[in-house]
Structure 1
Amino acid sequence: MVAKPVADFGRDRTRADGLAYTCRGCVVEVNRAAYERRRVAGKVASRAKPRAIPAESGRKVCRVCGEAHPLWMFGRDSSRADGLDGRCRNCEAERSAARYAARIGTAGPRPRKHLPPVSAPVAAVAVPPSEAAAKQAARAAERAANAAARDAASKVVLAAMTERANAAAAARESRRVQQPPSAAAQVRLVALLAAAEASKGATLPG
């Protein structure tokens, strides 16, 4: 074991001293040996880049097939310098078909279920409702039933309150009719009658 300066070691926050266990030189040698083993085993992809074509020519080289295509053969990609995708539309279609086949388990492009076959006649076919549609219909029916129940309960409460108010008004009216006039009311009534008689006497000729 050879002691080396601290500057020869990288950082490692998981260790107590904050430094890596292996020095930089040993890390480089280990990585180089691992890369050589992968290269010999054929697991290292080629780093050879296709020949670049000036953008003024109106063509671009696909990074998958390596062929030069017109610019309209590439989709948009705002993360790239030229604003175009690195794959041409043909390579992108093959990639999408392969991913779909791996996900579904069937080869070929995704079928369009909303379009009937050209050779088959279009006929009206009763399509059974799906489980989601059935659940949605059940929830709608439940909401309608709850709304109807709330309306019925509101009507019952309103009728009871109206009946109670009418009964209270009738009771007040009956008490007012049955209750005899007070002494002050009688005095006022007598004064009014006397004033009326006096006015009649004053208007008669002497």
Structure 2
Amino acid sequence: MVKRLFDLVVSFAAIIALFPLFLIVATLIRIDSPGPIFFTQTRWGQGGKKIKIFKFRSMRTDLGDESGVQQTVANDPRITKIGAFMRRTNIDELPQLINVVKGDMSLIGPRCHAVGMLAGGMLYEELVPEYHMRHLMKPGLSGLAQIRGWRGPTTRRGEARARVMCDLYYVANFNLLLDVKIFIATIRSEVGRGTGF
């Protein structure tokens, strides 16, 4: 209950404070390339439920991958100019605050993966048999794996396993103090340091 209250208070405050930025970003997206402002994608939610997450659209609509299975790479031709900037600064992720308010996501938790996501050419659930244990909790905007540097495309299986192990550790050891530590670490190390692809 306390975790949910924290999610709601912080998310509502962030949406209100960032609303002018949202308007600017929305305008730039429309100027940069034709298509919708937001991008939605099906991802794993709590309990293996499939949810629709929101992001600012950072790719061309004619080249985008709604499934999320095709991972982005450096100099990816699908990414727009404003999209590259948003990805470097993590601005593209901010609409997921809406998912937090809806209750599909939490501020802190295992990052939600696209259904059918691959790591080194293998499905995550094949690579790590305990993979779906990470879905015992709501997915988060940020998590333990992200602050430990395991973010972005996973082309190597060892990186993918390390990411999932961080998620499983978080699920097994969840407490509010750990959430606060991850939240503060995210603000310090993640904001403005997106992968850019």
Taking structure 1 as the reference length, the TM-score comes to: 0.17
User: More relative contact order in 1 or in 2 (CA 8 Å, sep 6+)?
Assistant: 2
Taking structure 2 as the reference length, the TM-score comes to: 0.17
User: When you count helix as a share of all residues, which structure comes out higher?
Assistant: 1
